[in-house]
Amino acid sequence: MDAVREFLPFMPKAAGAVIYPLSLVFIGVMAYGFYRRFLRYGIRPQAALAELVADAKETGMARLRNVVSLGLLHKKITRRPFAGAFHWFIYGGMLLLTLGTMTVALQQDLLSHIGVTVLKNGTYFFFEFALDTAALFFVAGCLMALGRRLLAKPDYLENTRDAVPVLLLLLFLGVSGLLLEGMRLAAHPVAWGGYSYVGSIFAAFVPAAAVPSAYPVLWWVHLFAALTMLAIVPFTKLFHIVAIPVHLFLETIGVPKAKLSMPFNLMEMAEDDDAEPQMGIATVKDLDWKRCLELDACINCGRCERVCPAHVAGRELSPRLLVQGLKKTLQAPPVSLGMKRAEASDFVLDEDSVEEGEGADVFTDGVITENAAWSCLNCGACMEECPASIHHVEYTLDLRRHLFSKGEIMDKQAALLSAVERNGNPYAMPSYERMEWLLDDGIPDIEDNPDADYIFWVGCAGAYGQRNQEVTRAIIRVLQAAGVNFAILAEEKCCGEVVKRLGEEGRFQLLAMENVQYLEPYADKTFITACPHCYNTLLHEYKDFGLELKVIHHTELLAQLVQEGKLPLAAKDAKLAHIAYHDPCNLGRMNGIYDAPRTVIEKLPGASLVEPEKCRDTSFCCGAGGGNAWFNVPEKEKVSSLRLREIKESAHPDVLAVACPYCLAMFDDAVKTEGMEKELAVKDIAELIADCLSADKTEESDGEMLTASS
């Protein structure tokens, strides 16, 4: 049985001669749209393609895995069940229907002329069943998406001008395709019609007598709708089906999430008198074409805004509006095809019209406010949630760099930078006090214990913060109890993390180069740090200056010691019952360290781990990231209070365990603000271990300390 003739009944034989030339016209419009977009990026499509090919030759397979995981399999989209479902229905349905249409065209216009028939008998039956199923899911997906936009209307989802029309066009394509199939079955009932089960339902409501006249009209309308959808891809939200996979393919491979960009290198500039550093971004003209494409990949879905702690707390920042604002300035139409992006971007697009921008940068043009740039916590929640893998944090960092270059910073930020430069710490405390108290307690400096296996990087918070000094002592007590051979660095100073996060790149690099020179002789040691911010900087940022260190977080070492039985524990703290663990952004989401802290908690006698609703990679920031521990921006609620209440309401813990000195400080303050002092204790994981050390181990550690100090 050859069923190909059933595909185009009642159509003139010359229809095929019209379809392909007409399709070329619409494809030409689409190509023109892509060409205009790339001109705005400041690069011609040929040059962009050449870079893409070069990237493919180097790390093509890794890049393809990225595209498949995030772009084709929708790994992040499916985190939201409803949105994930209708995206899969639309995407999967459209993919199968497109492949089906191409198969029919191949069979009808090529294979049939050489006597080859693919769609016949069982193959044809399965083909019809699969396409009906795909069409059914496709229509369902369109209806679900329309229902969310027109009925549910979540706050984080903006209805742009083209959103609903595009969905209606897609819905029409799905419904009209099924109706055409129903017409065919109504006019020519066949025994195998049951395989086209959705079309058969439509056929029951179609008068057979009306099919010869109605079918050709609907068929041409359906075709024009399909070609229109193809043509408008570069001009509407549909562009994301191209932009996102390409952006995912172009993403830099092998760079850790926690690694921040390095816009210039002072060491290289010292050798080149003509070199001029790029101090952040003032407008989209300062972006390379790949980052422009990244902006264009944003589909305005609002997921980043929904999870942004700064936005939830009522700060001015919305990562969605930041990217959309930059994107609108990028998309301002050029006067002619010959105009360069640098000229085209002098136009700023408001809600109703395109007007020439009067300001010198995105701040004066109203794209973003200074408070919004400083509000970012650098927590990475937006980046983790974004289906398009947009690096929002990098944009806010570049905007901060620009503000610094203009000298537009707060007094507290200026004082902070001055303190780091003058005292080697952001607390403005004397540098000699940093390690003095530890050396007085008999903790050996690396010069006194050169055979140490580990170097304990205490960090600014662990050295100067009164509450965090208790954590430092607890870590030392545990290390000594386990017989770990370690030392500290008497000349330790700030790693510079807060300086870099504030956008003062030059000052960070000078500080980093000093530290690198000091640390190079100890590069064969393993560095322990209790601060995830120091962890990031030592492990990731110092590589830019030629120093690769082995760095572990203290929870990783504690987990190892507990599992090896080097820390016999006894239940001595009556409060140890239900313990909730807060995942620090820089430790968990940025570096993927989730299990080690939980391993320690689960080994504590008499304790049980209770997970808050927002945990692991969906954890909610404490409010200290991005330098925000050192200055204030306008907000309706404290981020730390929001997080504390969420943990308390979802997990009902007796103890909140933390693994970051800044988280500890923020939650200590929030507990007092929320009046929870009597019902919730906040402790670092090292303190929980130290509290449970058995008596014999405590005596041994005391003895070791006395020996070291004698």
Q: What is the pLDDT of residues 455-477, one digit of tens each?
A: 999 999 999 989 999 999 999 99
Question: Quick one: pLDDT band at residue 380, thresholds 50, 70, 90?
Answer: very high
Question: Quick one: pLDDT band at residue 673, thresholds 50, 70, 90?
Answer: very high
Judged against a pLDDT cut of 70, whether residue 448 lies above it is answered with yes
Q: Which residues contact 306 (CB under 8 A, 6 or more apart)?
A: 156, 385
- Count the helix, strand and coil residues of the chain and give each as a percent rounded to the nearest 5: 60, 5, 35
Q: Residues 99, 100, 105, CA angle at the centre, nearest 5°?
A: 95
Q: What percent of the chain is modeled with pLDDT above 70?
A: 90
β-strand partners of 348? 355
pTM of the predicted protein model: 0.88
**Could you confirm whether domain 4-248 is CATH 2.60.40?**
no
Residue in 393, 386, 390 with CA at minimum distance from that of residue 75: 386
What burial letters (b/e) apply to 113-152, b meaning 16+ CB within 10 Å? Answer: eeeeeebeeeebbebbeebbebbbbbbbbbbbbbebbeee
8 Å CB contact between 528 and 449: no
β-strand partners of 486? 454
User: What integer is the mean pLDDT of 387-405?
Assistant: 95
Summarised one tens digit per residue, pLDDT across range 257-270 is 999 999 998 888 87
Of residues 349 and 150, more confidence is placed in 150
Lowest mean pLDDT among 234-238, 320-324, 611-615, 694-698: 694-698
User: What integer is the mean pLDDT of 643-647?
Assistant: 98
Judged against a pLDDT cut of 90, whether residue 672 lies above it is answered with yes
Residue 486 has phi, psi (to 5 degrees) of -140, 170
Q: Rounded to whole angstroms, what are the CA distances from 208 to 131, 402, 469, 485? A: 23, 69, 85, 89
Which two three-digit tokens encode residue 459?
């960090």
User: Which amino acid appears at position 379 of this protein?
Assistant: C
- Taking the C-alpha atoms of residue 492 and residue 456, their distance in angstroms, rounded to an integer, is 10
Question: Quick one: pLDDT band at residue 345, thresholds 50, 70, 90?
Answer: very low
Residue in 595, 529, 589, 588 with CA at minimum distance from that of residue 562: 595
β-strand partners of 445? 488
Q: Is the dihedral of CA 611, 613, 615, 617 positive or negative?
A: positive
Which two three-digit tokens encode residue 317?
């920042």
- Taking the C-alpha atoms of residue 219 and residue 215, their distance in angstroms, rounded to an integer, is 6
Judged against a pLDDT cut of 70, whether residue 286 lies above it is answered with yes
Q: Residues 527, 528, 529, CA angle at the centre, nearest 5°?
A: 120
pLDDT of residue 188: 84
- Taking the C-alpha atoms of residue 135 and residue 194, their distance in angstroms, rounded to an integer, is 16
pLDDT of residue 606: 87
Summarised one tens digit per residue, pLDDT across range 524-563 is 999 999 999 999 999 999 999 999 999 999 999 999 999 9
Strand pairing report for 354-356 and 347-349 = antiparallel
Distance between alpha carbon 466 and the CA centroid of its chain, in Å? 34
- Residue 56, classified by CB atoms within 10 Å of its CB into exposed (0-12), middle (13-18) or buried (19+), is middle
- Taking the C-alpha atoms of residue 334 and residue 327, their distance in angstroms, rounded to an integer, is 14
Which two three-digit tokens encode residue 599?
């391993």
pLDDT of residue 574: 56
Judged against a pLDDT cut of 60, whether residue 706 lies above it is answered with no
8 Å CB contact between 299 and 274: no
User: What integer is the mean pLDDT of 307-319?
Assistant: 96
| Helix, strand or coil, per DSSP, at residue 495 | coil
Judged against a pLDDT cut of 70, whether residue 127 lies above it is answered with yes
Summarised one tens digit per residue, pLDDT across range 658-669 is 999 999 999 999
Q: Which residues contact 155 (CB under 8 A, 6 or more apart)?
A: 302
Residue in 74, 192, 84 with CA at minimum distance from that of residue 132: 192
Q: Can you give the residue ranges of every domain in the chain?
A: 4-248, 261-405, 412-709
- Taking the C-alpha atoms of residue 296 and residue 235, their distance in angstroms, rounded to an integer, is 11
- Residue 544, number of CB atoms within 10 A of its CB: 16
pLDDT of residue 702: 47
4-248 and 261-405 agree in CATH topology: no
Summarised one tens digit per residue, pLDDT across range 226-260 is 999 999 999 999 999 999 999 999 998 889 999 99
Judged against a pLDDT cut of 70, whether residue 442 lies above it is answered with yes
Q: Rounded to whole angstroms, what are the CA distances from 467 to 170, 338, 367, 461, 586? A: 59, 62, 40, 9, 20
Question: Quick one: pLDDT band at residue 450, thresholds 50, 70, 90?
Answer: very high
Of residues 80 and 315, more confidence is placed in 315
- Taking the C-alpha atoms of residue 535 and residue 540, their distance in angstroms, rounded to an integer, is 8
Q: Residues 355, 356, 361, CA angle at the centre, nearest 5°?
A: 115
Q: Where are the alpha helices (DSSP H) in 490-589?
A: 497-502, 505-519, 532-539, 554-563
Q: What is the CATH number of domain 261-405?
A: 1.10.1060.10
- Taking the C-alpha atoms of residue 639 and residue 627, their distance in angstroms, rounded to an integer, is 14
Judged against a pLDDT cut of 70, whether residue 687 lies above it is answered with yes
Q: What is the mean pLDDT of the chain?
A: 89
Residue tagged 């050295």 (tokens): 463
Judged against a pLDDT cut of 60, whether residue 339 lies above it is answered with no
pLDDT of residue 639: 98
pLDDT of residue 113: 73
User: What integer is the mean pLDDT of 67-94?
Assistant: 92
